[in-house]
Amino acid sequence: MAGPSQEMAELVIPKDDLALPFQAELSHVTGRLVKLGPTVDDILSRHDYPEPVSELLGEAVALAALLGAALKFEGKFILQASTDGPVDLLVADYQTPGQLRAYARFDKEQVAALDGAHVDSATLLGKGHFAMTIDRGPDMERYQGIVPLDGETLSQAADIYFRQSEQLPTFLKLVTAKHYQGEDKSWSWRAGGLLVQKLTSEGGLASEGEEAAEDEDWNRAKLLAETVEDHELLDPTLAAERLLYRLFHEERVRAYPPLPLDPYCSCSRDRIEGILRNFTDEEVEEMTVENEIEVTCEFCNKQYSFDPAEINAKRKPN
């Protein structure tokens, strides 16, 4: 049995917070493997979300990393779910070259009512729509794909998009869980994901025999991908390239340079103050509580305090 490819062996791959692109040569599939530790823990720990909501948001972060890591240009990949479920808004975005942020909006009473029940992402989301947006900057047109949500999980919604809009056979698995760190005697969030897609045929239409062979290759690769266990995607001691080799070594898997992933937020005091200065005196007064305006960033949960008199004074011409 052949060992890992020389390209894979030569890579110095971190154990955590990475997206690892790969290609399996025999089965003609491509994909990405994501393992998230401190990055997803930082994003989720900044919010006091109930555990089921944090798990759902962790899946969204992993999905944003899996899909955003495919960008070949400077830009942003934005994932958004708007629904009638207990979690009515879910946002996660990936900004090149590997920055992640996310937040969720939910009904506390509805989520609390689910306590003790088996709560999956489909239950939390309910019905609505799932949008994936590629933003190339202010001078470029945005690309957006939208599919309905009707009791699907995030991975199922993304699979529907690829099958219907891209006509691209896809396998997708997402997982989030708390991990106990024995040395620190503490719990931290971890997330992981695996994306496998069939390579499109080149050179025109394939013959019937070629199509049958491609289908056989895809089915074989999909069966191998389905063997991945949740704990393998979450295990901080199992390196990404080792897991990749474990799954696809018979398919001559080739790993490409990994993309490091980090948390980020674009909020700042100056930026928020600039937004507040666009409001009228009456609107500023409505936002004022005990002679202060309190603004909390939805992404990083950082709080900013402003003096309304200073906001009004800066807005007025000298």
Among 39, 183, 49, residue whose Cα is nearest residue 107: 49
User: In which residue ranges of the chain is pLDDT below 70?
Assistant: 1-14, 116-117, 201-210, 316-318
Among 11, 6, 52, 53, residue whose Cα is nearest residue 33: 11
The 10s digit of each residue's pLDDT in 171-190 is: 999 999 998 877 777 899 99
pLDDT (0 to 100) of residue 184: 72
Backbone angles phi, psi at 128, to 5 degrees: 165, -135
- Architecture of the domain defined by 16-263: 3-Layer(bab) Sandwich (3.55)
Among 228, 242, 222, 156, residue whose Cα is nearest residue 192: 228
Cβ-contact 24, 252 below 8 angstroms: yes
Residue 264 DSSP code: -
What is the domain partition of the chain in residue ranges?
16-263, 269-315
Q: Is 250 left (phi over 0), alpha (psi -120 to 50) or beta?
A: alpha
Cβ-contact 62, 55 below 8 angstroms: no
What pTM, to 2 d.p., does this model score?
0.89
Q: For residue 211, give the 3-state DSSP assignment.
A: helix
Cβ-contact 145, 161 below 8 angstroms: yes
- Rounded CA separation 80/193 (Å): 18
- Rounded CA separation 22/30 (Å): 6
pLDDT (0 to 100) of residue 318: 45
pLDDT (0 to 100) of residue 45: 95
Q: For residue 47, give the 3-state DSSP assignment.
A: coil
pLDDT (0 to 100) of residue 4: 46
- Architecture of the domain defined by 269-315: Alpha-Beta Complex (3.90)
